[in-house]
Amino acid sequence: MSRLAVPKTYKLYIGGKFPRSESGRSYEVLSATGGFLANAAKASRKDARDAVVAARAALSGWAGATAYNRGQVLYRIAELLEGRRAQFVDEIMSAEGVSQAAASRQVDEAIDLWVWYAGWADKYVQVTGGANPAAGPYFNLSVPEPTGVVAIVAPQGSSLLGFVSAVAPALVAGNTVVVVASERLPLSAISLSEVLATSDVPGGVVNILTGSPAEIAPWLASHSDVNALDLAGAGDLDWVDLEITAADTLKRVLRPEPGELVPPSVHRITAFTETKTVWHTKSLI
Amino acid sequence: MSFLEYAPAPESRAILTLRDEYGLFIDGEFVEGTGGSFQTISPATEERLATISVASDADVHRAVAAARRAYERVWSRMSGTDRGKYLFRIARIIQERARELAVAESLDNGKPIKESRDVDVPLVAAWFFYYAGWADKLDHAGLGPNPRALGVAGQVIPWNFPLMMLAWKIAPALAAGNTVVLKPAETTPLTALLFAEIVQQADLPAGVVNIVTGAGATGQALVAHPDVDKVAFTGSTAVGREIAKKVAGTDKRLTLELGGKAANIVFDDAPIDQAIEGIVNGIFFNQGHVCCAGSRLLVQENIHDEVVDRLKRRLQTLRVGDPLDKNTDIGAINSAEQLERIRTLSDIGEAEGAERWSPDCVLPENGFWFAPTIFTGVSTSNRIAREEIFGPVLSVLTFRTPAEAIAKANNTPYGLSAGIWTDKGSRILAVADKLRAGVVWANTFNRFDPSSPFGGYKESGYGREGGRHGLAAYLTTSQRAGARAAIEARAERAAPAKTVKAKSVKKGAAK
């Protein structure tokens, strides 16, 4: 006699908690072959705003953590993801209809990507900042700092790797993020939030919304407490309109990426940093 | 009259010979604009200085076309060594003609000659000298392999530091291998046109630098021109927003240096003498027409009275008057329009309950003048504590703890600059860490250097000018281009198959 499975309720991830959408809405997520997989929460404008509040609240702690600490936390995500490979492989196979080998490869690459970005946390500052030889009795130093709250439209054509490729670099410098997951392939993102919740990532550092990017993204683009907008997965939306909306509050904007994942690059880290230059006087002795 | 009486000591205007009319500088020559003309005046006397052409859309198009030709045929093919030599030449000619440029700048802008002579023009030369050296070292800038120019840069600059802003824009653009079309502000076009003569003296290839004069419409035409690859703007946040909207969805790269409302934080252990000088320099330098001006003084409550008393005493010794007088500390407000804005906001400051004070000073009858002004008892919600006045007006607020100072300093949509005054080094470092501002001056203020990146957080814009960062704003790297090519190739491969399979992650791209 076969055992009756216990399916998971897929919810949002906001401020380290797993709420349903405050709107009470959900939408059907189908497998590659058209079968029912789950009812995912369909996030509303209010959910997006709650997520921004949570991200803002988490910012000073995450940005203020030592680079060594942030690197270790990001590495810990890789560790826990490794331990749950099987779950993600199954999820990707059913959602994307790919072979086990392809699904495994996607999970492996996602894990390796966390490791790669984790290592950047205590290195990108030296690569991009430094001392400036100002002409005068000054000690003058430029350092990159996190931009703040980053709203991300995750790549839409990939369950896990696309999501990780956009989210991981934004976290390296100490930004906190609100991510709109792939509309069609949202389940791995929510499963990843369970990994994040147990990986020493402070609540609110990553907030994940499932639902319609076309509905949610404009609210994030216009939100005054969002500092930057990553349109990586917004290629099929009216992203120029989103960029114009973001200009009202002079957000930093990254444009859509044509691929299913954002290619790993230190540029993805520095795009969400601000250079601060501090001039210290030197006394005359 | 103040107790300090001096005989006038005006700098001679004889060194400067202005033409009666100036055309646009396009493709290496001065040509007449087709958009009409306007007068540029001295804001200190309202005397007419010269007639200036207005560049129409067609003129802007001609200038961009000239820049494109120069980019493709000459400048992008020239060695970095030779590009650098041209920039060194320009730096040297600026030094040779420094006094003339300073006189022109003070006449057209209204700033005191001691500032144009000792700050603006020396920094202009330094900026060209600094970036000249980068031209043949782009591979060593740490931006990835094979950095390349973007193409034609459209640059729009403000009236507060006319020639200095020109240098901040043109020097890195040219060093990186771009050609430029630059629009100076309509109230201060003169030094940009003198710079065009310097470009001719340096024998810079025609079309590498083009100067189009005019007002907002000319700037809009330049920014919106489809053949411009890079837009660089310094000016108000309102205009910056509009430019960001125009550029949205295009392939243009954009950097914006916008407004500010800097907090100048004075702790009770600060070296008070130096702090007073720093506060004065922070807000009254260049008549307060400085985007990074220390317009909000945050002073620790227990030393508030002492600081304000000493500040008032110091202000009584400032000389307001003829910009060409070598003893002048505060010159003329740049335009009638700006004067009106300063007056309006100051009146609002009074109406909202802050206490207004200015030293006794006799202001000249002609021209645009505003006495240095201090508002005490300002609260964080007052408009004079929130809006950029861009004039010689200081709002004084108080705080008790470092945490309160930081919270108040950051309580603004701007984030360009800030100042910290304290004798305690560890406090400087801790407070500097918490300030959301692109430039922080510790026990100093309003210092600039070509090697030192300058630019804002939040609504003060994005991008940096100065240093390696300023160079990067005019380059694309094979890291970015390579990544993009890789993506496009991948997208093409993936498109026919219509699969959603993940492709392999290429880490080599991120050196």
B-chain residues near A243 (CB < 8 A) = 248-249
B131 vs A: CB within 8 A? no
Quote the CA–CA distance of B404 and B1 in Å, as a whole number: 40
pLDDT for B443-475, tens place per residue?
999 999 999 999 999 999 999 999 999 999 999
To the nearest whole Å, the CA of A250 is away from the closest chain B CA by 6
Cross-chain Cβ contact A250/B491 below 8 Å: no
pLDDT of residue B482: 40
Residue A284: what pLDDT?
82
Q: Tell me how close the Cα of B377 comes to any Cα of chain A, in angstroms.
A: 29
Minimum Cα–Cα distance from A255: chain B residue: B249
Return the number of other C-beta atoms located less than 10 Å from residue A185's C-beta. 25
Residues of A within 8 A of B451 (CB-CB) are 132-135, 140
Is the per-residue pLDDT at B479 higher than 80? Answer: no
pLDDT tens readout for residues A131-159:
999 999 999 999 999 999 999 999 999 99
User: Across the interface, do B453 and A132 touch by the CB < 8 Å criterion?
Assistant: yes
- Tell whether B449 lies on the interface with A, counting CB pairs under 8 A: yes
| A275/chain B closest Cα distance in angstroms | 6
Model confidence at B307: pLDDT above 60: yes
Q: Dump the DSSP string for A187-220.
A: HHHHHHHHHHHTTTPPTTSEEEE-S-HHHHHHHH
Which pLDDT value is given to residue A1? 66
Tell me the sheet residues that pair with A229.
A151, A253
Q: pLDDT tier at B144 (50, 70, 90 boundaries)?
A: confident
The residue in chain A having the minimum alpha-carbon distance to the alpha carbon of residue B467 is A132
pTM for the whole structure: 0.94
- Contacts A265 to B, Cβ<8 Å: 479-480, 483, 509-510
Burial group, residue A2, by CB count within 10 angstroms (0-12, 13-18, 19+):
exposed
β-strand A130-131 against A138-146: which pairing, if any?
antiparallel
CB contact under 8 A, A250 and B504: no
Among B119, B274, B459, B505, the strongest candidate for a mutation testing the A interface, having the largest count of A CBs within 10 A, is B505
Q: What per-residue confidence (pLDDT) applies to B5?
A: 76
| The pLDDT of residue A239 | 96
Instruction: Identify the CA nearest to B448 among candidates B259, B237, B165, B190.
Output: B165
Is residue B3 over pLDDT 90?
no
Q: What separation in angstroms does the CA of B7 have from each of A233, B328, B331?
A: 69, 11, 17
Which residue of chain B has the CA closest to A248? Answer: B241
Confidence check: pLDDT of B72 > 70: yes
d(CA A49, CA A45): 6
Q: Is the pLDDT of residue B67 over 80?
A: yes
| CA–CA–CA angle A267, B411, A52 (5° rounding) | 55
**Residue B503 pLDDT > 50, yes or no?**
no
Contact between chains at B444 and A138 (C-beta distance less than 8 A):
yes
* Minimum Cα–Cα distance from B436: chain A residue: A276
Q: Is B355 one of the annotated active-site residues of the chain?
A: no
Nearest-10 crossing angle of helices B216-224, B57-70: 40
Distance from A215 to chain B by nearest Cα, in Å?
Answer: 20
Task: Flag whether pLDDT at B265 surpasses 50.
Answer: yes
H or E element: which one contains B342? helix B336-351
Which residues of chain B lie closer than 8 angstroms to A248, CB-CB? 241, 245
Q: Do B428 and A277 touch (CB under 8 A)?
A: no
Contacts for B107 with CB less than 8 Å, ≥ 6 apart: B13, B16, B42, B44, B49, B190, B323, B324
Note the pLDDT of residue B355. 98
- Got the DSSP string for B222-274? HHH-TT--EEEEES-HHHHHHHHHHHTTSS-EEEEE-----EEEE-TTS-HHH
Q: Does the active-site annotation cover B257?
A: yes
Q: Closest Cα of chain B to A248: distance in Å?
A: 6
Contact between chains at A259 and B237 (C-beta distance less than 8 A): no
User: How many A/B residue pairs have CB atoms within 8 Å?
Assistant: 160
Q: What band does A11 get if pLDDT is binned at 50, 70 and 90? A: very high
Among A140, A158, A250, beta carbon nearest to B461: A250
pLDDT tens digit string along A43-66?
999 999 999 999 999 999 999 999
pLDDT tens, residue by residue, B203-235: 999 999 999 999 999 999 999 999 999 999 999
- Which of B435, B470, B433, B434 lies closest to B451, judged by CA? B470
Mean pLDDT over the full length of chain A: 97
Report chain B's mean pLDDT, rounded to a whole number: 93
Contact assignment for B499 to A98 by CB distance below 8 Å: yes
pLDDT at A250: 97
Catalytic residue, chosen from B257, B388, B459, B465, is B257
User: Cβ separation of B248 and A244 shorter than 8 Å?
Assistant: yes
B502 min Cα distance to partner chain A (Å): 6
Residues in chain B within 8 Å Cβ distance of A281? 442-444
Q: Which of B11, B186, B291, B292 is catalytic?
A: B291
**CB–CB of B442 and A266 under 8 A?**
no
Q: Would you say B163 and B121 are in contact if contact means Cβ atoms under 8 Å apart?
A: yes
B481 Cα distance to chain centroid: 30
Q: Which residues of A touch B249 (CB under 8 A)?
A: 239-240, 243-244
Nearest CA in chain A to B237: A250
Separation CA A60–CA A73 (nearest Å): 16
Residue B498, chain A, CB below 8 Å: the answer is no
Residue B484 pLDDT greater than 80, yes or no: no
Q: Looking at beta carbons, which residues of chain B come within 8 Å of A89?
A: none
Mapped onto helix, strand or coil, the DSSP state of residue B296 is: strand
Asked if B7 has any chain A CB less than 8 Å from its own CB, the reply is no
- Name the closest residue on chain A to residue B464, using Cα atoms: A275
Per-residue pLDDT tens for B153-179?
999 999 999 999 999 999 999 999 999
Q: What is the pLDDT of residue A163?
A: 98
* Per-residue model confidence as pLDDT tens digits over B10-26: 999 999 999 999 999 99
Question: Is B454 in the A-facing interface, judged by CB distances under 8 Å?
Answer: yes
Percent of chain B whose pLDDT exceeds 70: 93
pLDDT at B123 over 80: yes
Kindly tell me if the per-residue pLDDT of A166 is higher than 90. Answer: yes
Whether the per-residue pLDDT at B83 is higher than 50: the answer is yes
